Amino acid sequence: MQKYRKFLYAFVALAVFAGLFGGCAARGASPVQKSTVSMGSVVTVKVYGAENADGELLANTILGAIADLDTKVISKNAQTSELARLNMSEHPETPQKVSPELFVALRETKAIYSQSDGKAALASGALTEIWGMDTESFRVPFSSEIESAKALCTDETVLFTDDGCVAFRNGQTLNLGSVGKGLACDKAVQMLAETGLLPQNGGMLVSVGGSLALVGSPKNGAPFTVGVRNPFGSENEHFATLSMSGGFVSTSGSYEKKFEKDGKTYHHLLDLTTGFPAETDLCAVTVTAKTGLQSDALSTLCFLLGEEKSLPILKEYSAEAIFVYTDRTVHVTGGLSSALQMTDSTFKAEAV
Amino acid sequence: MKQKTYKIALMGLLAATAMVLSYLESMLPTAFLPPGAKPGFSNLANMFAAAVLGLPSALTIAVLKACFAGLMRGGTSFFMSLCGGVASTFVMWFLFNKGKKLGSVGIGVVSAVSHNAGQLAVAAVLVGNASVLGYAPILLLCALIAGTLTGLVFRAVLPALQKATKSFIQTPNRKE
Amino acid sequence: MTKKWISRADVIVLAVLLLVGLGLWILPRVLPQGDALVAEVTVGGETVLELDLQTATARKTYTLENGVVLVTENHTVAVLSADCPDKVCVNTGVLSRVGEVAACVPTGTVVTVKGESRAILDGITY
């Protein structure tokens, strides 16, 4: 009996230690998380299931790559970016060679927005500038300003050649502002593949101002749980969650950037055919798509076009969407219904 | 026959002792103690009974103590004391008579822990919620201290008790 | 009957139990708390009240049917008073962490702090 007792005590002690260490290890599975501010948004990288050192390296690499993407390639404001210099060309009608990365981004954005009945365009810079959207010094432009800017906001005069050149009319300003976050998400996934720092059973979540890239799994093959922000609530409030095993999500909403003047509220999603913020019953659209660029562009497109016209376009890109209306009704496209779980009973969801 | 009568008399004395100790314990201010923790000196009588009188008698004393608690502080106290008392009595009897390696401290501690375990078990049943186990860590830590003290006191008074009861019963000698 | 005060086996038992006790005591204090603290109140096993501690800032009292009075304040909950002889529940004090419990056995009341894992999001799209 005495001998067994010693074993029993040892076993109990081991069990306790195992439990404690197991608990600590499980906590160690909490992700490596790093954030910076880039593109005027908070960019966060979460790496799951990797060694701390790897996770940190990966996160830093991605954050650096996104910052570079902004300042060197797609930013409209930074003088150093390729796009800014392109916009400043003296003779933009003459096709100019741009980097493959920028070329693809510009061409795809034009392609997606070409289905917006003119409400969205790659060349939207003329209008976003007079509204002060780019510098966040919002103002209501004069009608004359709007008229002349509108004329410049058409993609019909933006042309791409097969050898990677771009041409557009003098006075136009090409703008990737509405797809920048999606592009950053794509960049993050690209860097992940290049560095190969993620183990097979790991996962990564990148958030660029609310546009997300999801890779792998946060834990044991389980999907990510993503909250959909409540447009009427504070920053951390969500009205639903999405269960996603990878992919890209973006949201466009009138609640994000807006300002008030003389008692009227102006949001930032401009309808280029009117030159004013789009008038709609929608207050937010969330889109899941195959690339970050697509999810970002399509969410803007859906917001401007409205649900009915957007549905066929979404199908074309194999994308799904959640339309949130100002009366708190929520319409969800078929492919997302099973992944979506409502968590706020003041919203009513319907499948479309 | 004489022995049996004496045995019963001893049981009566021990039971009374347990009740008195229990009463004194309840008079202690509880503010400085973690919730539910007791000094445990009332277990001294139980310990002696479990050590000397054999299982049935020891259990009887535990039941009597529980009844006393029930009369003093209500139905729940009865069940808690009963469960805790029975559990710790079983454990003590086993350790005193079969477990050769443990000293008084060890027996005191294990009996205190099993007393608390029994109480938590019945508490969980009574409230219908296993969450009461949340008290387990703090009770366990207190049981270690209380059990150690009780064990030491028991060992200290043991010779005197043995001497006093020598005429009552033949105590089985144990190898040290 | 033992003549030993304390033996080697005793020390082992004490050490093991001490470790177990400390481990169990530390555990709730190091575990991640989760986003939404909720105080679940059960009487006789049935949940009678769920208090959202996340939004509980100003002092608020709740009186149960069995006479137990709870108070929430500053994201914590405590049993203010109860009709029981020992007042163990009241003496348990203030609960603030996931896993902490205050129980009143005579009235069958248990207050447990739970963390809603539902609220643990990997990310949020906005």
pLDDT at A78 (0 to 100): 83
Nearest partner of A119 among A302, A321, A272, A292, judged by Cα: A272
Domain count of chain C?
1
Q: At what angle do helices A292-305 and A100-113 cross, to 10 degrees?
A: 30
Question: C97 or A22, which is more confident?
Answer: C97
Asked if C123 and A46 touch (Cβ cutoff 8 Å), the reply is yes
From chain A, which residues contact C within 8 Å (Cβ)?
Answer: 2, 5-6, 9, 12-13, 16-17, 19-20, 23-24, 27, 30, 44, 46, 205, 207, 209-212, 214, 218, 224-229, 235-236, 238, 241-242, 249-251, 253, 256, 286, 343
β-pairing, A329-332 vs A348-351, is parallel
Domain that holds residue C63: 34-116
pLDDT in tens, A233-268: 877 788 998 999 999 999 999 998 889 999 999 999
CA distance A85 to chain C (A): 31
HEC string for chain C: CCCCCCCHHHHHHHHHHHHHHHHHHHHHHHCCCCCEEEEEEEECCEEEEEEECCCCCCCEEEECCCCCEEEEECCEEEEEECCCCCCHHHHHCEECCCCCEEEECCCCEEEEEEEEHHHCCCEEEC
| E runs forming strands in chain A | 32-38, 41-48, 96-97, 159-160, 165-167, 203-208, 211-216, 224-229, 238-244, 247-253, 258-261, 264-267, 270-271, 276-277, 282-289, 320-325, 329-332, 340-342, 348-351
Asked if A284 and A252 touch (Cβ cutoff 8 Å), the reply is yes
Q: What integer best gives the mean pLDDT of chain A? A: 90
pLDDT at A271 (0 to 100): 97
Taking domain B2-165, whether its CATH number is 3.40.50.2300 is answered by: no
- Establish if C82 belongs to a structural domain: yes
The CATH code of the domain that includes C73 is: 2.60.320.10
User: Which pTM does this prediction carry?
Assistant: 0.59
pLDDT in tens, C20-76: 999 988 887 777 776 568 888 888 887 777 777 876 777 888 888 888 999 988 888
User: Chains B and C: how many Cβ contacts under 8 Å?
Assistant: 141
**C125 in A contact zone (CB under 8 Å):** yes
| Six-digit token string for A112 | 């997606």
Nearest by CB: C85 against B74, B140, B152:
B74
- Establish if C51 belongs to a structural domain: yes
- Establish if C79 belongs to a structural domain: yes
Q: With 60 as the cut, is the pLDDT of residue A25 above it?
A: no
Q: Is A17 helix (H, G, I), strand (E, B) or coil?
A: helix
Would you list the domain boundaries of chain B? 2-165
Q: Say whether C125 and A229 touch across the interface (CB within 8 A).
A: yes
- Which run of H or E residues covers position A347? none
Q: How far is B89 from A233, CA to CA, in rounded Å?
A: 59
Q: How far is A103 from B25, CA to CA, in rounded Å?
A: 84
